[in-house]
Amino acid sequence: MKKWVLPFLERETRKKAREMGIPKEEVEELANFRYEHGKNAEQALDDLLDYLNYEFGTWGLLGPNWRFREVFASVLGDLPKEAFDKIRRQRNVAYILPMDDYAETKIVNMPKARHKEEQLKIVTFPRWYINKPDKSLRGSIAHELAHIYLGHDFRQSVQKHPKTRDEQEAEADRTARKWGFEKEIDELEKDRAEVQEQHRKTKPKEKERKADSIA
């Protein structure tokens, strides 16, 4: 967890408490003991998740799986402060853990959303991701957050420039590495290679089945 996390949360706690009209002495007590003077890192990381709860009810579908929440929060806590601030201020992003086992981690640009005509970006993490090792899962999350940070728009890039998607994938990996997730991205690349190899092995079998069906 980066050093900026606790001061940020304590400052936000004081701010919210004052807005609620809580007496000054109680505000300080709440800010000081909420995180047990810096000892309760687990509580601090979990509280970071609240700052991704935007206008679209983004946290509802991701919340039920506690392990995924913990790993997601650990990535947020290891981001540079500048990156976290930029990501949390983009109010048109939803982070979802869907029930579809075959979904891919991706960013989907939907038709015009209700927030200042911005398009709603949905970052999906398949349900089977909860079984991935922590390092690989952290790599996937850091990679997708990098897409959000960089403002990538897959739908438009694929339509206009077919090669742009690969370039954006590489840029997201570079950005995550720059943030300090080198080992996590290395693990993610191993996962990708394994998936590609499995896909390569299954393709001939699919062709054989198609040939048999035609015959």
Q: Is the pLDDT assigned to residue 202 strictly greater than 80? A: no
Range in 4-8, 33-37, 108-112, 164-168 with the lowest mean pLDDT: 108-112
**Cβ count near 149 (within 10 Å):** 21
CA–CA distance from 25 to each of 22, 34, 35, 169 (Å)? 8, 14, 17, 49
Domain boundaries, the chain: 1-39, 40-214
Q: What is the pLDDT of residues 62-120, one digit of tens each?
A: 545 778 888 889 999 999 999 999 988 877 777 777 655 544 555 555 555 555 445 66
pLDDT score of 211: 46
pTM over 0.95: no
